[in-house]
Structure 1
Amino acid sequence: MTFSISARCPETGMFGIAISSSSPAVAARCSHTRAGVGVIASQNVTDPMLGINGLDHLAAGMSAADVIDTLVASTPYAAFRQLTVVDNTGATAGYSGSGALGIHAIAKGTGAISAGNLLADEGVPAAIVAAFEAASSVPFPGRLLAALEAGLAAGGEAGPVHSAGLKVVRDLEWPLVDLRIDWSDAPIADLATTWEVFAPQMEDYVNRAIAPGEAPSFGVPGDPA
């Protein structure tokens, strides 16, 4: 019912996740990332606390593999969970419990990991990672989105998806990008459209937070520009 990619950008230090599901508002439950720390997807039968606790473990110095081991050992319902972790070195680790739904798989790349369950084909995560790696010239958020689009093209879920999200952190206390389509008949396409609108303004919103007097005008009625 979900497929995702989590990754670290070695050039910028950004962490990010792109995710889609047949369930509503998947990104609200399953996407967990923290600047300078890492990124975690907690999916299948979702427990958001695994993502929250996992980031705390990463911040305390655990590796991605150690975090997976700790999270699996800490929950009595590990069989229901599917998890991926990327740490601040770019190391990755993943876990699919015995109760992962339908066809499920995990694929790893350099600083990236994809996982899915209730998939149309077990090769979907590998297609996602391959697309991410092939888009190396694309800015990091766009690479994540391109990878998610490739997962859909490779078959995606066994049924239609209805929600999607893109979340990226950099050197701020808040996400640089946090875009969500919580219910749609074409959530990944809608997410791509939203990114196209947001991308040219992304740094403007950072500047408005840090140095509003030097930021570009809003271009709305009443703006002194």
Structure 2
Amino acid sequence: MTFSIVARSADGRLHGVAVASKFLAAGALVPAAEAEVGAVATQAHVNLAYRSQGLALLRTGVAAADVVAGLVAADAGRDDRQVGVVGASGDGATWTGPRCHPWAGGQVGDGWAAQGNILAGPQVIDAIRDAWLGGAELPFPRRLLAALHAGDRAGGDRRGRQSAGLLVVQRRGGYAGTGDELVDLRVDDHPDPVTELGRLLDTHTMLFGKPDPATLRDLAGPLADEVAALLAAAGYPVGVAGLDGALASWAGVENLEERLVVGRIDPIVLEHLRRTAPAGRVGG
């Protein structure tokens, strides 16, 4: 019912799962990941216990292939299951039970495993593999999404489309450094879920991505005057809080607080401010 990829970044700091299926809310069932430990995808006749059990084994240093072997050996329903695992190092591993609906199978390599069932054919996994291997220059979440897109374009789930999910973990990579979930996005029921997942990732990156120090602009001179006028037009006059304070108040309401740097401004924040401030009131 599903195709997925589990993977690890080249530096081992990120782990993730991307999944799509003709099944309601596959992203709620299939993926699990733990920062600097590994990732698991359970599919076909999902066994939710695989997620916690697989991560527990990975946490103790068990290799991905041995994790898969242990999970399926202890499961009387293994012939109907499919699972992919990647750990903190080494090759990924995958299992496809002999009773999974065709086409079903998977492939593995260093730091990744791709698997699927009820697929249009083996070309789906080939496409996921090729996109993953060819996407090393992409940010890790986008590399996972590109692999999922490739599988979708190659035919994906032969029954059609319904849901997709993307889970990426990194130690203290979550909101304000208070958790490890760098990206946790789901499209539960949609006619084009992988494309919609891409839109959500774009929005997530805009709101929660960290600013690029090379692109930050100093809040001084004419730029500071422009930002102050835009903030005033949006209802956040500089006043006693100063420019940084007014910008922080506005950004908090716009959910852009993760992109703030005192004394400077992220071009993404500046563009959003220019786009959303009431133009008629600027400089009025």
TM-score by length of 2: 0.71
Q: Report what 1:142 is aligned to.
A: 142
Q: Cα distance, 1:220 vs. partner?
A: 3.7
2:252 corresponds, among 201, 218, 223, to 218
Q: Report what 2:192 is aligned to.
A: 186
- Equivalent pair of 1:12/1:170 in contact (CA under 8 Å): no
Distance 2:18 2:91 in 1: 18
- String of CA shifts for 1:63-97, please: whole Å, max 9, x gaps: 10110111011111111110111010042111111
> Residue type matched to 2:133 in 1?
E
Indicate the structure whose relative CO is greater, using CA pairs within 8 Å and at least 6 residues apart.
Answer: 1
Distance 1:113 1:76 in 2: 23
Distance 1:54 1:113 in 2: 14
Q: Cα distance, 1:219 vs. partner?
A: 4.0
> Residue type matched to 2:171 in 1?
D
- String of CA shifts for 1:141-180, please: whole Å, max 9, x gaps: 0000000000011111112110000000011343110000
Distance 2:87 2:195 in 1: 29
Alignment of 1:158-197 (within 5 A): 158-172=158-172, 173-197=179-203
Structure 2: gaps spanning 5 or more residues: 173-178, 211-244, 261-284
> Residue type matched to 1:182 in 2?
D
Q: Report what 1:209 is aligned to.
A: none
Distance 1:61 1:100 in 2: 29
Q: Report what 1:24 is aligned to.
A: 24
Q: Report what 2:47 is aligned to.
A: 47
Secondary structure class of the residue paired with 1:218: helix
- Equivalent pair of 1:85/1:93 in contact (CA under 8 Å): yes
The count of aligned residue pairs is: 214
- Equivalent pair of 2:90/2:111 in contact (CA under 8 Å): yes
Which range is displaced more, 95-104 or 136-145?
Answer: 95-104
**Structure 2 residue 83 is the aligned partner of structure 1 residue 77:** no
Task: Report the aligned-residue RMSD.
Answer: 2.0
Distance 1:103 1:121 in 2: 5
Distance 1:112 1:164 in 2: 19
Q: Report what 1:130 is aligned to.
A: 130
Distance 2:54 2:12 in 1: 22
Distance 2:109 2:50 in 1: 23
**Structure 2 residue 157 is the aligned partner of structure 1 residue 157:** yes
Distance 1:75 1:42 in 2: 13
Instruction: Quickly say closer, same or farther: Cα 1:11–1:202, change in 2 above 3 A.
Output: farther
- Equivalent pair of 1:8/1:90 in contact (CA under 8 Å): no
TM-score by length of 1: 0.90
Structure with the larger helix share: 2
> Residue type matched to 1:179 in 2?
L
Q: Report what 1:97 is aligned to.
A: 97
Structure 1: gaps spanning 5 or more residues: 205-212
Q: Percent identity?
A: 35
- String of CA shifts for 1:92-146, please: whole Å, max 9, x gaps: 1111111111211201233111000000011211210110111111100000000
